């Protein structure tokens, strides 16, 4: 029999707050939240000019000048969220446990700020060489390496990069490793910091960026809003968590993964269906037992329509009973960190027994006809919830999270 996998620590930083406490307050606020605003770090002449930036962030409050020479912004966010999650879990890594712990931290793009700074130096300023730490800083695995070095983790450590599903795959892979007794503890999540001039122009070239704000499932939605930040969760086998009397937030009850094998940018409902169906089968729960879905809900015309169709196909008549929301309307699309941050949002929803809303919704779309939580949080009993991540290239992850119950 495979091990049960539980969540014992949470940490995050995003436009919705620099830590879980601030994130929770923003997520469940009954007032308007100003988390999406005009880009502040560069002047944009594109059709879109908004993003979900981490505001009032001063890296010198967290890192020394020497450390910052080796840390891209995305790795900074990863370390900040990892430290919060580890502190929250109240876990200490002994020599033995360091060998029985893995670090899996995802990112879609990695050190984009470092890349663009290097190009600026070489091709605009005419410099002959870049900073010697340019390559170690820009690597997608840099955040994982920094976390493992800081805490002395000597078990498996690697990065996942599957576009917007990166941290979802990290959580799923870690869950499998914990289930099969390869490790006892996993530090998992994702980080992203790509609100840079070049990357923003590239996304704008796809014509998927919003021109006003993020309005998932709304008839007048105009696209996604790029966000930045990081989310980290501490996962443990149930036996390990019990042995050290850890507080348990939730249980990872099911994981599902699939590939559309269809198109680089166009979503396919069948791929999303396969991931959700696989998660349900893995959990051994019935579709009727799921009360809430934290949707991928990117705010693009195609995604929201396709995801709605997929949810109808998987949940049948129960689809209209489900509550659905997209927290990307609050923290933006944090790409490779999105699944981790949204899993944290889902766990907080179960903890508070309250659903986070889809903000900025104005007008119903006939093709998006589920029971969405609109504009304001809503009290709801939640025992089992799903969090979806559907990435470019058709790379899909669905995670099922359940209220923790002590074994009888």
- Listed in sequence order, the residues at least 6 apart from 309 whose beta carbon sits closer than 8 Å to its beta carbon are 269, 367
Residue 38 sits at φ, ψ, to 5 deg, of: -55, 140
Residue 104 pairs in a beta bridge with 158, 188
296 is an active site residue: yes
- Catalytic residue, from 18, 238, 240, 296: name it: 296
- Catalytic residue, from 164, 194, 214, 368: name it: 164
**Burial class of 116 by CB neighbour count within 10 A (0 to 12, 13 to 18, 19+):** middle
Q: What beta strand segments (E) does 93-241 contain?
A: 101-106, 157-158, 185-192, 229-237
CA neighbor of 34 nearest in space, from 58, 50, 47: 50
Residue 252 pairs in a beta bridge with 401
Task: From residue 106, give the alpha-carbon distance in Å to each of 235, 301, 336.
Answer: 15, 26, 6
- Catalytic residue, from 238, 240, 312, 333: name it: 333
Structural tokens at position 234: 């501490």
164 is an active site residue: yes
18 is an active site residue: no
Task: From residue 299, give the alpha-carbon distance in Å to each of 77, 78, 100, 130.
Answer: 25, 25, 40, 38
Could you give the residue numbers annotated as active site? 164, 296, 333
């Amino acid at each position: 029999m495979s091990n049960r996998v539980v969540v014992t620590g949470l940490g995050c930083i995003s436009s919705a707050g620099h830590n879980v406490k601030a994130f929770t307050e923003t997520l469940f606020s009954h007032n308007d939240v100003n988390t999406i605003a005009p880009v502040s770090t560069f002047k944009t002449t594109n059709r879109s000019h908004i993003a979900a930036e981490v505001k009032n962030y001063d890296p010198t409050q967290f890192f020394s000048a020497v450390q910052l020479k080796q840390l891209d912004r995305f790795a900074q966010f990863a370390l900040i969220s990892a430290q919060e999650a580890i502190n929250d879990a109240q876990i200490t890594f002994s020599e033995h446990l360091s060998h029985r712990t893995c670090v899996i931290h995802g990112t879609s793009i990695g050190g984009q700020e470092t890349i663009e700074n290097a190009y600026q130096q070489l091709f605009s300023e005419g410099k002959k060489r870049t900073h010697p730490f340019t390559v170690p800083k820009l690597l997608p695995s840099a955040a994982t390496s920094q976390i493992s070095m800081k805490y002395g983790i000597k078990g498996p450590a690697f990065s996942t990069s599957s576009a917007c599903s990166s941290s979802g795959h990290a959580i799923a892979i870690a869950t499998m490793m914990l289930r099969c007794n390869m490790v006892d503890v996993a530090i998992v999540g994702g980080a992203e910091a790509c609100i840079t001039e070049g990357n923003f122009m590239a996304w704008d070239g796809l014509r998927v960026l919003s021109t006003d704000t993020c309005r998932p499932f709304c008839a007048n939605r105009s696209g996604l809003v790029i966000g930045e930040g990081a989310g980290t969760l501490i996962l443990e086998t149930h036996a390990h968590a019990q042995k050290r009397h850890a507080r348990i937030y939730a249980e990872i009850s099911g994981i599902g993964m699939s590939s559309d094998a269809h198109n680089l940018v166009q979503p396919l409902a069948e791929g999303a269906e396969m991931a959700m169906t696989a998660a349900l089968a893995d959990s051994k729960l019935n579709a009727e037992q799921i009360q809430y879905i934290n949707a991928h809900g990117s705010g693009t015309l195609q995604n929201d329509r396709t995801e709605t169709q997929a949810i109808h196909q998987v949940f049948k008549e129960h689809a209209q009973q489900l509550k659905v929301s997209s927290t990307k309307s609050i923290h933006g699309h944090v790409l490779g960190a999105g699944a981790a941050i949204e899993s944290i949002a889902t766990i907080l929803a179960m903890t508070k027994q309250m659903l986070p809303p889809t903000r900025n919704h104005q007008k119903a779309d006939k093709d998006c006809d589920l029971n969405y939580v609109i504009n304001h949080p809503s009290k709801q009993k939640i025992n089992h919830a799903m969090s979806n991540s559907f990435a470019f290239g058709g790379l899909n992850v669905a995670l099922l999270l359940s209220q923790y119950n002590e074994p009888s």
